[in-house]
Structure 1
Amino acid sequence: MRKQDRTKVLMVGPDRSVHGGISGVVNLYYEADLDRKIDLCYIGTMVDGNKLRKLLKAVQAFLIFCLKVPCFQIVHVNVASDSSYYRKSFFIKTAKLFQKKIVIHQHGGDFPNFYNKQLNKRGKEQVRKVFAMADRFLVLSSEWKEFFSCMVEESKIKVFPNAIQIPPAVDKQYGQHKILFLGRLCKTKGIEELFIAMKELLKEYPDLRLYLGGVWEDKELKALTAGHSSHVIDLGWITGEEKNKYLSECDLFVLPTYFEGQPVSVLEAMAYSCAVVASEVGGIPQMIEDGRTGILIKPRDVSSLKDGLRRALGDTKLCARLGENARRKVEADFSIEKSIDRLLWIYEDILA
């Protein structure tokens, strides 16, 4: 297909350099050559850093957006909650003024708290008004479709799970008691509960090791690692081959998060045949069937976390079965190739 005949999509979201889930999804689109299948222009609206740096980036992004939007057919907006919603609302309203087709792609795992507890009646009405501008409203799971159906016309909502590039199968060695965590290192990811559970489990499994791959967002929480230096290894933010190395070597993966959209890190761990222990929140139950493709735990619950990890640590055969089933689940339902094909169909459908 000639470039001039391809669907023209202007996509906005956090800068591709940002340490976070949405930027990871966008980078996967590029790795899967979405930009070669459509005429794609991506504008990063947020960067890591202080408030001034973030403000300057947002203003610059909006000016570039206003210049470019007349040349595109579809505006695809990746949005979460809180400041992400407020920032993206300007882009959505502007796209509507230019009479563009709009795809709103909702990633925010904490949106229920934002909508139900932080907004007053007028704020909720404004959210509904902005979201109603969408021609298609993409959510990560059927649970999220049910939640957003009170704000968006149900016929516009499409379940569109996250996806990953499926790696070659690995020869996983189970029973090593190596646990991997990937993501933001903060209270809402359950790091404090994880440290408490680890301390107690060490009495039963003295060879236990926890590998933390992420960026610390809480200095007080980071200070706690000093008391766990014998069994906690701080890797910093890891990507590429280094991340794949730890996904291959660790037999367990843990995510005791308080809330979530649909974490790519869990999909990656499943693809590398890890036995996953994760909170039963957001879109995670769509990926993890307890006892079959992983182990589900209650959020904010040290006992549940400890019991979930103990189930995996004490049964090598269970770990192997969970890991093998998880790999098959990802191959069947969460490959980036299938996701790209579905996204292209969504674009074609709204232009038809």
Structure 2
Amino acid sequence: MSTEIKVLMVGPDRGVHGGISAVVNELYAAGFDQEVSLKYIGTMKEGSKLRKLLVAAFAYCRFVKELSWCDVVHIHFSSDSSFMRKSFFIKRARKSGKKIVLHQHGGDFKTYFNEQLSDAKRDYVRNILDMGDVMLVLTKGWKDFFGQITDPDKIEVFPNSIRVADCHVQGEKDYNKVLFLGRICRDKGIDELLEAMKQIYSVNKDAHLYLGGIYEDSEYKEKVENCSDFVTYLGWINGEEKNKYLDECGVLVLPSYYEGFPVSIIEALLHKCVVAASAVGGIPEIIDDGIDGILFKPKDKNAVKNALEKAMSDKEKALSMGEMGQKKVVEKYSVEANIRRLLEIYKKIL
């Protein structure tokens, strides 16, 4: 192992169900911890507010203890409480004179910054972001946004990525099978998705939705159970089980109200799924509408229905989209390439 660069990385616990944890786990799986000397501190676990508070407090104490060891502090955050929680780590790292990589993961930061914060809190956010030596964002759109808040010259577009070398799609896809991966809640567009599938099922009894995720809002458990004729709840799926459904299902749907850069989309593209997704956040920078996926307006059940029917009805076009999508991921979203680039970023700021 090279110990030339010692990296203290901070983010949610690696067992948390979410996008940042998925990104971090991909880095580990691709051998990032063999390229640098890496210590990871999880600042958040799922559970009660008390549990989250205790985890954050313990993580901060460990962080302070490990600061003298590292060369670089790499901090992952999204918005809302995630950003505020990480701001204490950023301030302490700056006070200790450490080089800081801020890694922003999208989410609803625009609404958070523009609509939910007071002027004083916005000034606080600017001050925290100014403490970073480099800031990684998921898309050009996020670079343009954050370039109005902090120094644009230190912002680099750094999209999420996955391992691409070992993917071999097994079997023939069924384009009547639709897969959803993510948190099951209002903001993920679950209401519109269930209504769209209900309408599709009324005329196509082969149509079926597979929900891979956790119930963030408990009310959706009953809603999903009431749709059992055309919906199967899988729970949170990983590894070979997830690959099985990505191979079998012809369509990956993501009707979110907001997003950063969903790992589930590039996973689905790698497995030659047709991706039908709302045109929000970084998704339009991943999907070329009509070429390697289908984009639609968020919060519109008819738009979801039309997109799914389009994917289901034209197998030849769906196969073409699948081929184009896989080609794009291999060329642009390889975690191996991202690791090489991350090493260069570290070297540049040291």
Q: TM-score, normalised by structure 2?
A: 0.98
Kindly indicate whether the alpha-carbon contact (under 8 Å) linking 1:212 and 1:236 is maintained by their aligned counterparts in 2: yes
Q: Which residue does the alignment assign to 2:59?
A: 61
| 1:170 maps onto 2:169 in alignment | yes
SS in 2 for 1:177: strand
CA distance in 2, matches of 1:145, 1:2: 32
Question: Out of 22, 25, 50, which is 2:23 matched to?
Answer: 25
| 1:199 maps onto 2:198 in alignment | yes
Q: Which residue does the alignment assign to 2:185?
A: 186
Matches within 5 A, 1:58-137: 58-137=56-135
Question: Out of 29, 35, 41, which is 1:43 matched to?
Answer: 41
SS in 1 for 2:260: coil
Moved over 4 A (4+): none
Q: Which residue does the alignment assign to 1:252?
A: 251
SS in 2 for 1:236: coil
CA distance in 1, matches of 2:240, 2:309: 29
* C-alpha deviation, 1:35, in angstroms: 0.7
CA distance in 2, matches of 1:145, 1:293: 24
Q: Which residue does the alignment assign to 2:234?
A: 235
SS in 1 for 2:235: coil
| 1:322 maps onto 2:321 in alignment | yes
| 1:335 maps onto 2:334 in alignment | yes
CA distance in 2, matches of 1:289, 1:176: 20
SS in 2 for 1:151: coil
Deviation string for 1:300-321 (max 9, x for gaps)? 1111111111111111111111
CA distance in 1, matches of 2:54, 2:293: 43
What one-letter code is carried by the residue in structure 2 that aligns with 1:97?
A: K
CA distance in 1, matches of 2:272, 2:92: 44
Q: Size of the alignment, in residue pairs?
A: 349
Kindly indicate whether the alpha-carbon contact (under 8 Å) linking 1:172 and 1:251 is maintained by their aligned counterparts in 2: no
CA distance in 2, matches of 1:307, 1:248: 23
CA distance in 1, matches of 2:229, 2:14: 35
Q: Which residue does the alignment assign to 2:275?
A: 276
* C-alpha deviation, 1:172, in angstroms: 5.2
CA distance in 1, matches of 2:136, 2:130: 13
* C-alpha deviation, 1:222, in angstroms: 1.8
Kindly indicate whether the alpha-carbon contact (under 8 Å) linking 1:181 and 1:253 is maintained by their aligned counterparts in 2: yes
SS in 1 for 2:39: strand
* C-alpha deviation, 1:287, in angstroms: 1.0
SS in 2 for 1:203: helix
CA distance in 2, matches of 1:2, 1:302: 52
SS in 2 for 1:228: coil
Deviation string for 1:12-42 (max 9, x for gaps)? 0000010110011111111011111001110
Q: Which residue does the alignment assign to 1:156?
A: 154
* C-alpha deviation, 1:171, in angstroms: 4.7
CA distance in 1, matches of 2:174, 2:55: 47
What one-letter code is carried by the residue in structure 1 that aligns with 2:273?
A: C
Identity %: 50
CA distance in 1, matches of 2:174, 2:38: 45
Deviation string for 1:32-61 (max 9, x for gaps)? 111110011100000011011100000000
Kindly indicate whether the alpha-carbon contact (under 8 Å) linking 1:179 and 1:251 is maintained by their aligned counterparts in 2: yes
Kindly indicate whether the alpha-carbon contact (under 8 Å) linking 1:175 and 1:251 is maintained by their aligned counterparts in 2: yes
CA distance in 2, matches of 1:321, 1:329: 12
Kindly indicate whether the alpha-carbon contact (under 8 Å) linking 2:174 and 2:249 is maintained by their aligned counterparts in 1: no
Structure 2: which 5+ runs fail to align? none
CA RMSD of aligned residues (A): 1.0
CA distance in 2, matches of 1:137, 1:65: 20
CA distance in 1, matches of 2:247, 2:174: 14
* C-alpha deviation, 1:2, in angstroms: 4.6
* C-alpha deviation, 1:8, in angstroms: 0.8
* C-alpha deviation, 1:226, in angstroms: 2.3
SS in 2 for 1:289: coil
What one-letter code is carried by the residue in structure 1 that aligns with 2:346?
A: Y
Kindly indicate whether the alpha-carbon contact (under 8 Å) linking 1:172 and 1:273 is maintained by their aligned counterparts in 2: no
Kindly indicate whether the alpha-carbon contact (under 8 Å) linking 1:79 and 1:85 is maintained by their aligned counterparts in 2: yes
* C-alpha deviation, 1:284, in angstroms: 0.8
* C-alpha deviation, 1:119, in angstroms: 0.1
SS in 2 for 1:147: helix
SS in 2 for 1:12: strand
CA distance in 2, matches of 1:314, 1:168: 26
Deviation string for 1:264-312 (max 9, x for gaps)? 0001000100000011111111110000010001111111111111111
Q: TM-score, normalised by structure 1?
A: 0.97
